[in-house]
């Protein structure tokens, strides 16, 4: 029956048509598909009203929350704000703080939510590429990580601390190596000096010291002595006074003659020094007679030569 509300009897009100949505959807298939889920225009309109009041649907009976939602002009705007907040939480920008009387469960939940390891050594797992903890530093680093863990530090802070320590340790080692090289040369120059040091006996005395450390202290204690340092960083073995004392002790314990006999350079040095002093005695007799130091040294060399010949 024609609708009496329409002037043209050939036209029908689309709201009363079997496919009520035809005039709304037109040729838009996607729109037709969306509208087809409603049985009538009234169903569609009711749903639309519900959707238009999306704040009530989200907030329910929470009037305070609904008031907060009034700040957003659409569900999309609210959704975008929520997503940004979640990203900030995951990145640590909006990290909440634990109460001072937090329970173990609260602490565990907080650490899990903020990507904090449950145990201190968790900081040292999955380190950034190129970052390594040496075996000699592990005990120290575990103790350090424990302090950071008690403060619930972000793993990025722990990794930055490890990187700083590695860089610091490397620079310290480089500085020590440079200092050792400089002081070793300085000590060697002093002890090789014919007047102030050992002169030609340098190698012999160093061999005696090495032998003394081996026999009297053993491998472990020797290693500690060789690598021991004063508070100012100088190595024990880069101190001329220490080496002189060890050489004197070694000469009291060991007979140097066998060492000279086994070393061609030392043996030649012994003969050359004897020849030099004998020439001094022949050409400058009166001066030599007053030089008690030269006389004592010549007697010592004669004794060494005799013992080295017997040891050969």
> How far apart are alpha carbons 240 and 244 in whole angstroms?
6
User: Is pTM beyond 0.95 here?
Assistant: no
161 neighbors 128 (Cβ within 8 angstroms) = no
Chain segment 91-115, per-residue pLDDT in tens? 655 456 777 788 888 888 888 888 8
Write the DSSP symbol of residue 229: B
Chain segment 160-215, per-residue pLDDT in tens? 989 999 899 889 889 999 999 999 999 999 999 988 898 878 888 888 888 788 87
Q: Which tokens sit at 35?
A: 């509208």
Domain span holding position 287: 198-311
Say whether both 297 and 245 belong to one domain: yes
Question: Based on C-alpha coordinates, what's the Rg of the chain?
Answer: 46
96 neighbors 111 (Cβ within 8 angstroms) = no
Say whether both 139 and 227 belong to one domain: no
Closest residue by Cα to residue 203 from 214, 215, 191, 195: 191
Domain end point (choices 173, 192, 211): 192
Say whether both 188 and 214 belong to one domain: no
Digitized pLDDT (tens) for each residue of the chain, 312 residues in all: 344 444 444 444 444 445 777 776 778 888 788 878 888 877 776 676 666 667 777 777 888 877 887 777 777 777 777 777 667 656 655 456 777 788 888 888 888 888 889 999 999 888 888 888 888 888 999 999 999 999 889 888 999 989 999 899 889 889 999 999 999 999 999 999 988 898 878 888 888 888 788 878 888 899 998 999 999 999 999 999 999 999 888 877 766 656 555 667 766 777 787 888 889 899 999 898 988 888 887 887 787 777 767 666
Output the 3-class SS for 160-227.
Answer: HHHHHHHHHHHHHHHHHHHHHHHHHHHHHHHHHCCCCCCHHHHHHHHHHHHHHHHHHHHHHHHHHHHH
Would residue 91 count as lying in a domain? no
- How many structural domains does the chain have? 2
Would residue 288 count as lying in a domain? yes
Say whether both 163 and 210 belong to one domain: no
Would residue 37 count as lying in a domain? no
| List of residues 6+ apart from 257 with CB closer than 8 A | 304, 307, 308, 310, 311
């Amino acid at each position: 029956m024609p609708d009496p509300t329409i002037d043209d009897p050939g036209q029908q009100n689309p709201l009363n048509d079997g496919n009520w949505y035809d005039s709304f959807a037109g040729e838009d298939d996607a729109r037709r598909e969306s509208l087809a889920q409603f049985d009538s225009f009234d169903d569609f309109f009711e749903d639309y009203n519900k959707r238009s009041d999306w704040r009530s649907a989200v907030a329910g009976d929470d009037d305070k929350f609904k008031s907060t939602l009034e700040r957003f002009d659409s569900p999309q705007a609210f959704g975008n704000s929520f997503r940004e907040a979640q990203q900030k939480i995951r990145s640590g920008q909006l990290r909440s703080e634990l109460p001072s009387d937090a329970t173990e469960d609260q602490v565990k939940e907080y650490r899990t939510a903020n990507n904090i390891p449950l145990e201190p050594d968790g900081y040292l797992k999955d380190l950034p590429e190129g970052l390594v903890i040496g075996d000699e530093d592990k005990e120290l680093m575990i103790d350090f990580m424990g302090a950071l863990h008690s403060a619930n530090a972000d793993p990025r802070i722990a990794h930055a601390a490890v990187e700083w320590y590695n860089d610091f340790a490397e620079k310290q080692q480089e500085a020590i190596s440079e200092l050792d090289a400089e002081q070793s040369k300085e000590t060697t120059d002093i002890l090789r000096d014919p007047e102030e040091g050992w002169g030609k006996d340098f190698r012999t005395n160093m061999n005696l010291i090495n032998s003394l450390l081996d026999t009297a202290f053993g491998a472990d204690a020797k290693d500690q002595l060789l690598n021991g340092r004063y508070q100012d960083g100088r190595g024990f073995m880069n101190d001329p006074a220490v080496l002189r004392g060890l050489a004197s002790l070694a000469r009291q314990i060991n007979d140097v003659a066998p060492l000279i006999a086994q070393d061609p350079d030392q043996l030649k040095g012994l003969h050359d020094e004897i020849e030099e002093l004998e020439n001094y005695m022949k050409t400058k007799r009166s001066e030599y007679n007053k030089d008690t130091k030269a006389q004592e040294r010549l007697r010592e060399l004669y004794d060494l030569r005799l013992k080295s010949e017997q040891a050969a």
